C-alpha cells in the first residue's frame, strides 16, 4: 500500500487525510489516528501491520488476528524513512543564500535555525521524525548530531529506518553525523542523510566511525535485519 492508496482508503472510510497527494502530512497522520481509535488499535499514527490489515478489511475481526506480508524497505510502517526518501535531492543554497525549505523545517519544529551553512544533518533527521511521528520526543538540541545517540530506544541490529550516529573528525571531538540506515557493505553503512555533499543524498559511512543505532520509541519495534548492498562510490570523510 502506497501513501496515495492509504489516503484514498481513509477517505473512502470517512476519515479525511487532506489532499490525496502521496505525502504523509499531519492531516494524513491525524486521519490514521482517528481510524486507529475507531478500531481499538494503538493510536500512534503509524500505518503498521495491524492498521494496514484493518484498513484492508475494515469489517473483519480486530486486526491483531490478521497476517500481513513483510513490509518493503521504506514502508508505511516507517513513515519517517518514506519522508527521507521523498526529500532526496534537496540542496542547500549556494553562497550567502538559504534554502527556505530547509529553514522551514526548523520553523515547523520550533528549532532555532536560520542559516543552511550551519550543519543540518540533525535538522533533517528531526524533520523526518517530527513530521511523521508527532508524539515522538526529539533529543535536546537535535541540531547536534551526537545528541541523537540518546534518541528513542537502542536498535541492536542496524536495519532500514534506524537512526545511525557517527563521529566526525575524531571520536573525542564531540562532532558527528546522523542519518538513516538503508543498507551496508563490507566497509560501510549506506546512509540516507542531509548535509551530505550539501544535499539530501545517500553516502557510504565508514564502519569505523559508527557510534550507535537508535529507533523511534513510538514506532513499531524493529523487526528486520541488515540489508546488503554493493559498494557504490567513495567513503564519506567529512560531511559538511
The Cα–Cα gap between 141 and 15 comes to 35
Class of domain 3-65: mainly alpha
Task: Please state the separation of Cα 211 from the chain's center in Å.
Answer: 18
Residues 227 and 183: beta-carbon distance below 8 Å: yes
Q: What is the pLDDT of residues 114-173, one digit of tens each?
A: 998 899 999 999 999 999 998 899 999 999 999 999 999 999 999 999 999 999 999 999
- Residue ranges per structural domain of the chain: 3-65, 79-215
- In whole angstroms, give the CA distance from residue 159 to residue 223: 9
Could you tell me if 208 and 189 are in contact, meaning their C-beta atoms sit under 8 angstroms apart? no
| pLDDT digits 0-9 by tens, 73-109 | 556 778 999 899 989 999 998 777 899 999 999 999 9
Nearest to 116 by CA among 90, 92, 140, 133: 92
Contacts of 214 (CB under 8 A, 6+ apart): 148, 149, 151, 152, 153, 154, 155, 162, 163, 165
pTM value is: 0.75
- Which of 3.90.870, 3.30.1560, 3.90.1720, 3.30.1120 is the CATH number of 79-215? 3.90.1720
Amino acid at each position: 500500500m502506497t501513501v496515495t492508496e492509504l489516503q484514498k482508503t481513509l477517505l473512502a472510510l470517512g476519515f479525511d487525510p487532506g489532499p490525496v497527494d502521496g505525502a504523509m502530512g499531519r492531516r494524513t497522520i491525524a486521519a490514521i489516528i482517528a481510524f486507529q481509535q475507531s478500531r481499538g488499535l494503538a493510536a500512534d499514527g503509524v500505518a503498521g501491520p495491524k492498521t494496514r490489515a484493518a484498513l484492508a478489511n475494515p469489517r473483519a475481526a480486530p486486526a491483531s488476528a490478521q497476517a500481513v506480508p513483510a513490509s518493503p524497505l521504506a514502508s508505511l510502517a516507517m513513515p519517517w524513512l518514506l519522508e527521507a526518501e521523498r526529500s532526496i535531492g534537496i540542496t542547500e543554497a549556494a553562497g550567502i543564500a538559504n534554502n527556505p525549505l530547509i529553514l522551514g523545517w526548523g520553523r515547523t519544529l520550533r528549532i532555532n535555525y536560520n542559516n543552511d551553512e550551519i550543519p543540518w544533518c540533525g535538522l533533517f533527521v528531526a524533520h523526518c521524525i517530527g513530521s511523521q511521528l508527532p508524539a515522538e520526543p526529539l533529543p535536546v538540541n537535535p541540531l547536534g548530531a551526537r545528541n541523537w545517540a540518546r534518541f528513542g530506544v537502542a536498535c541492536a541490529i542496524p536495519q532500514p529506518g534506524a537512526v545511525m550516529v557517527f563521529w566526525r573528525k575524531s571520536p573525542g571531538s564531540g562532532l558527528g553525523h546522523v542519518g538513516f540506515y538503508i543498507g551496508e557493505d563490507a566497509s560501510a553503512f549506506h546512509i540516507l542523510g542531509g548535509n551530505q555533499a550539501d544535499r539530501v543524498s545517500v553516502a557510504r559511512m565508514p564502519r569505523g566511525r559508527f557510534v550507535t543505532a537508535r529507533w523511534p520509541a513510538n514506532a513499531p519495534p524493529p523487526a528486520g535485519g541488515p540489508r546488503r548492498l554493493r559498494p557504490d562510490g567513495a567513503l564519506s570523510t567529512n560531511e559538511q
